[in-house]
Amino acid sequence: MKKIGIILRDYISLSQKTLLAIHQDLITYLSRYPLEIICLPLNFNNNLETEFNSVVKTINNCQGIILPGGANYHDVDFKIAKYLHEKNIPTLGICLGMQIMVLAFKDK
């Protein structure tokens, strides 16, 4: 069974609390396939290196990564996108995730 990692995005709830989440539509779609879905939570307030190091080991254990949509991007998003490219890990960017990949390599 393939392991697919999904970076959790930060969302503001109706009660104004910050949540890390994945859209239900994405989970519903992925559940149709024999995949092990691994959630990669990020604390976007941490130091860039600390946050990257908190997920890189898990990323390396996945056969692919999904960079989902959301409202905000962070420096760690760009570092992850560059790492995925460098390590040739299959990556799917959805909405903001694709924009992150474009911006990570705009100067190349």
Return the higher-pLDDT residue of 62 and 23. 62
User: What sign results for the dihedral spanned by CA atoms 30, 31, 35, 36?
Assistant: positive
Q: So what's the pLDDT on residue 108?
A: 63
**Per-residue b or e along 63-82, where b marks 16 or more CB atoms closer than 10 Å to that residue's CB:** eebbbbebeebbebbbbbbe
Percent of the chain with pLDDT over 90: 71
CA distances for 13 relative to 17, 21, 77, 105, angstroms: 5, 10, 22, 32
Identify whether the C-beta of residue 70 lies closer than 8 Å to the C-beta of residue 21. Answer: no
pTM over 0.85: yes
Q: So what's the pLDDT on residue 18?
A: 84
Give the closest residue to 8 by CA, choosing from 92, 95, 80, 66. Answer: 66
Average pLDDT score, the chain: 92
Return the higher-pLDDT residue of 92 and 43. 92
Digit-coded pLDDT (tens) for 26-78: 999 999 999 999 999 988 878 999 999 999 999 999 999 999 998 888 999 99
Identify whether the C-beta of residue 71 lies closer than 8 Å to the C-beta of residue 99. Answer: no
Banded pLDDT at 86 (limits 50, 70, 90)? very high
